[in-house]
Amino acid sequence: MHSSGVNLHVVVDGAGPTILLLHGFPDTHHLWRHVAPQLVASGFRVVMLDQRGYGQSDAPVAVSAYTIDKISSDVIEVLKSLGVTEKVRLVGHDWGAFIGWFLCMNYPDRFERFVAVSVGHPLAYRNAGAAQWLKAWYVIMFQIPGLAEWLFSASYFRALRNLAREPEDQASRLNAFSPNGRLTAALNWYRANFGQFGTANFKVSTVPTLGIYSTDDVALTEKQMVDSEKYVKAQWKYVRIENSTHWIPLDQPQRLTEEIVAWCQDSIS
């Protein structure tokens, strides 16, 4: 599929109400390999894409190609290309959750329900205090061209491989970032939007939202998710998952799927 001259790899499976799954860093739609089949079995049509710069989708060279508005437009264009006119259920993890919040704030008429996995509302993140900013030290490091690429690619991409527990997920990340320019494309998400973290005038969301946080998340505090309730002018629910790293879709896929299904089926009449 095409969006602003960028070819996007999209996977569609199942039949029923549409659930759109958005991955973050450093993943592709492969992140949902345990979750998507269960959603299909629960009666949903699942739409997944490799977001621009990732997987089998195009990776523009310019940093400016990865601004939040362009990435969000990709999602809207995918829905249009698929002929989806009804409101969809949206699930995002990591950067996918950040994009999900932006979509709900700016295109509320397109989304029935939202599940934010790990990352809370941008204003809750911004106002979460020193503990959150200490955990986010890597965002500063990512701004230095070449440094982050060197650290992640050293020793056959060991740092990226070590972020996953299962060999299949380690291999998936290795395959995704080995091609020339792919790692830089993913890091450009951080570089293109760095100023947004501290200065953008983000709106409140009017889309019913489920926020999910895991206790062993090294990058995010629980406060930034819990406080997201302040910025949701609609139904809000919070779920805390034990014994999971930041990558809940890989560590606790069964529990995550159960929460997604319960939240999304609640809106089906």
pLDDT per position as a tens digit, 41-62: 999 999 999 999 999 999 999 9
Query: For residue range 99-122, what is the model confidence (pLDDT) as tens digits?
Result: 999 999 999 999 999 999 999 999
Q: Which residues contact 8 (CB under 8 A, 6 or more apart)?
A: 1, 2, 49, 50, 51, 52, 57, 58, 74, 77, 78
Residue 136: Cβ within 10 Å count: 16
| Preceding amide of 26 cis, omega within 30 | yes
Query: For residue range 229-258, what is the model confidence (pLDDT) as tens digits?
Result: 999 999 999 999 999 999 999 999 999 999
pLDDT score, position 162: 87
Sign (positive or negative) of CA dihedral 103, 242, 267, 89:
positive
pTM: 0.96
Q: State yes or no: pLDDT of 94 exceeds 60.
A: yes
**Domain boundaries, position 27:** 2-265
CATH number of domain containing 23: 3.40.50.1820
Secondary structure (3-state) at 144: coil
Give the chain's domain count. 1
The DSSP bridge pattern shows strands 18-22 and 88-93 to be: parallel
